Every structure is written in structure tokens, then in C-alpha cells.
Amino acid sequence: MHDWLRPPVNRLAGRAPGVSLNEDGRREAERTAQRLVPHHLDWIVASPLQRTVETAEIIACRRGLEVRQDERFIEWALGPWEGMRIEDIQARYPDQWRTWRENPIALRLPGAETLEQVADRMETAFMERLDRGGDGVIVSHQDPLAALLCRLIGMPLANIRALEIGTGSVSVVRRSPHGDVVEAVNSGVPLI
């Protein structure tokens, strides 16, 4: 968690550099690291953005593991929206904003990735990581992780908003002889 999406900042961070975890985010990362203590980990890979690297380092420091960065796990590139105030995006791009919230598979912005491109790079990187073996953690971002999970469970990307990926949550995928199994999605997020 970081302050960009909260008032008074209320900006879409996207891939903007220098967006770090706030105190709540550090606490969430500590709770996630604590939840992972009983599980063996061989590796930790993170998106190269500061907030994900910080989260990965909090998990890694308990293990003596080195955090590796992989650009393919980075946040969805949203072109002109990155760093903009949410209210400015809604005012200048009302139709595209609605599309992003309701039907993100159809979103087309100059200089932005499509959701298919996000899912493709996430799936490729994830499968490469699984093929290397061992147990590990990937620290990435809400929409890219949801896109990956859609691909893994065979759910159309058009339904991505049906998956909630909260900050500090854990989703679990296990490789089995019969295929990859999604064992948990968004685990650890408090229920209302």
C-alpha cells in the first residue's frame, strides 16, 4: 500500500518511479512475510518498481534470499494516465476510464499496453519461473496478477474484474503432474 491512491494525493501510480510503501504497506508486507514463514522458499522475484521490491525485500530478509527483479512482472503500462490524479483521468478520459473499470480488455490508450499484452508477459515469465523449479514468491501488481490468474484458470480476460487481488494478499499456484493448480486467490485479505 502506498499513499498515491489515497487523498490528498489520489493519483494512479502505474509505473511512476519513486512510489514507495507507506507505513500501512510495510505492515502488510510484514504480515505477509510472517504468513509465509512456515513455507519453504527457494526464490523471490519482484517487479522492479520500488514498492514491489520493498515488499519482496521484507519477505526475503527473513529467509536470507536475494530478491531478483523481472521487468515482465511490472505494473500494467497505462501511458498518459500514469502519475495523473484520478479525478483528472475521469474528466479527460471519461469513456476510457469507464472501459478500464468495466471492460478493461477493450481499453486502448496511446502508449499503453493492452490487457492481452499484460497477460502474455505475465504468463510467459511465470511459466519460465515454474519450469526452473523450486518454491518461490512473485511480488507483482493487482491487475497483472489477476490477468495471470485468469490465464491459469482458463477464465476470459474480459472477466478480470471478477478477481480481487488485494495489497498484501497471497495467491497460490502449485505445479502438479496433471497441470498447474490454483490453490488460493487473494488469501489473507480481511473479510468485511
What digits encode the pLDDT tens for the residues 62-86?
Answer: 789 999 999 999 999 999 999 999 9
Domains of the chain from N-terminus onward: 3-187 (3.40.50.1240)
pLDDT of 192 reads 42
3-state helix, strand, coil in the chain (%, to 5): 45, 15, 35
Cell of 48: 522492479
| Per-block mean pLDDT, blocks of 10 residues, the chain (192 long) | 64 89 92 92 97 97 93 97 94 96 95 97 96 94 96 95 92 88 82 46
Which pTM does this prediction carry?
A: 0.92
* Closest residue by Cα to residue 192 from 166, 160, 158, 163: 166
